[in-house]
Every structure is written in structure tokens, then in C-alpha cells.
Amino acid sequence: MAHTVSAKKRIRQNESHRRRNRWRLRAMRDAIKDLDEQLLHGAPEQITEAYKKASAVIDRIAQKGVIHKNQAARRKSRLNTRVRAKLASN
């Protein structure tokens, strides 16, 4: 257990940051799931809108440092590949 005031404060900060980061990751996963749903059942306009939303969420999370910028780029690239394949087949 921490004894100093600064160590106790750091524990509190770590907990609040952990909760915030988990919330952001959940938001990213939800945006990707929404895109997956649109890829299965959505119109082309809905698919592109869902991709833009997911891409923005991923960028925001990478900017905050929750995920690495290369991971964000990789996720967006893979999503974009799926979106383009779906739109090409329509």
C-alpha cells in the first residue's frame, strides 16, 4: 500500500485513466460493430457513413494514446478494405 501523498494520488489518477481508456476502447469496438452491421445489412450511403464514424473514433483514440498510431492505421486500413470490397460488389 502506498504511504506518501503523491503515491496515493498517482493510484487515484491511474484508476481514473484506466476507466476512461476502457470507455474509449468500448466506444471504438461499438463503432466497429456498427460498421459490421452496416456491411451486412446497410445501404452504400450508410456503410460509408459508418466507416467515417469508426475512422474518426479510431483516430481520436490513437491521438489520446490509448492505442498506438500504427495500430489505428492498421485497423482503419483493414476496415477500408472491407468497405471497398462490399461497395464494389454492389
**Which CATH number fits the domain that encloses residue 51?**
1.20.58
Rg of the chain over all Cα atoms, to the nearest angstrom = 18
Domain limits for position 80? 23-89
Contact 54, 24 (CB under 8 A): no
Phi and psi dihedrals of 67, rounded to 5? -125, 160
The answer to whether residue 72 is domain-embedded is yes
| pTM, entire model | 0.90
Cell of 68: 498506438
**Greatest distance between any 2 Cα atoms in the chain:** 63
The answer to whether residue 15 is domain-embedded is no
Residue 1 pLDDT greater than 90, yes or no: no
The answer to whether residue 28 is domain-embedded is yes
**Tally of domains within the chain:** 1
Tens-place pLDDT, residues 37-81: 999 999 999 999 999 999 999 999 999 999 999 999 999 999 999
